Structure 1
């Protein structure tokens, strides 16, 4: 084989190897950057839970609770028309909470509804499990709702951090309100 053919083959191999490895290196770099985002989100969630004094429930756990008929109140904290009406966890009731952290300004009402309205929705049994959710992990509406429930004396409060996005991602049934 001539020297020119060898050089051509080596050039082609080099181009193919570089062409395949470059995207892999780019993906690897992106993987590290994404890990920083995941870490920030995880730490934010943990700190909210610590500050709010509630617990967490996973998608699978909530589904098992619902399937077993466990007595609880499930609260969707997103806007009625834009979200709850279109889709919510089966059996959930709606009570809108804002996205900004309510603990910082110690709110006594939200969306024109008071803490008394929220207590009426949750019921008088302070030991009954209360599950609060919003759209997804980064959404803080569920943190505000869970924090309010704890502040009002409820002792068995859970934040379903994955929210309706995780519920749908698990392909679990949803309800709609007409």
Structure 2
């Protein structure tokens, strides 16, 4: 009788664990599919743009070492950059959709020459370009255009201001 009770208890635990695994696992599997889509999209953008990427921690380390670099925030000035941006970042708006041809309207009236002026004459200087978050493609456009214009040391910071704030690093604003 005791062994029968143990067997029933083990069986009940197994059924419960299977049910929980099925319920929990299905969400985890669906989440993984979404993560995969995002990761593949990012990799394909990086390949298309021929630039590199940099993590939040790597960018913060470079800042702490006072590395010679230019950080470019590609978000809208009023809605984003003015309120908060990575310390030391300069603002230059890029659109979300792929910008194959230079579009003055999409860059808030700014020209390709103004972008080159911002990036500077040193084509080998480290340039880090970011936007809001991983799925935002403004930074892809900015990094891809920097590469098209002959800059060699271009990195996209895909985590953007959301990852920067998520790491609890300080932000600047325009007063």
- In the TM superposition, 1:6-45 aligns within 5 A as 22-45=19-42
TM value normalised by structure 1? 0.86
Distance 1:130 1:73 in 2: 5
Q: How far did 1:107 drift? A: 2.1
Which residue, out of 46, 62, 65, partners 2:59?
62
Aligned to 2:102: 107
Structure number with larger C-alpha Rg: 1
Any idea what the Cα deviations from partners look like across 1:105-163, whole Å, max 9, x if unmatched?
Answer: x2253221011010111111111000000000100000000001001111100000000
Which residue, out of 79, 85, 91, partners 1:94?
91
Aligned to 1:3: none
Distance 2:45 2:22 in 1: 35
Q: How far did 1:25 drift? A: 2.4
Q: How far did 1:20 drift? A: 7.2
Q: State yes or no: 1:118 paired with 2:115.
A: yes
Q: State yes or no: 1:83 paired with 2:84.
A: no
Distance 2:126 2:102 in 1: 23
Q: Which moved more, 1:108-117 or 1:125-134?
A: 108-117
- In the TM superposition, 1:46-61 aligns within 5 A as 46-61=43-58
Distance 1:160 1:20 in 2: 41
RMSD: 2.0
Paired residues, what number?
167
Distance 2:20 2:121 in 1: 58
Gaps of 5+ in 2: none
Aligned to 2:128: 131
TM value normalised by structure 2? 0.88
Which residue, out of 144, 147, 161, partners 2:144?
147
Gaps of 5+ in 1: 1-5
Aligned to 2:167: 170
Distance 1:71 1:38 in 2: 33
Aligned to 2:69: 72
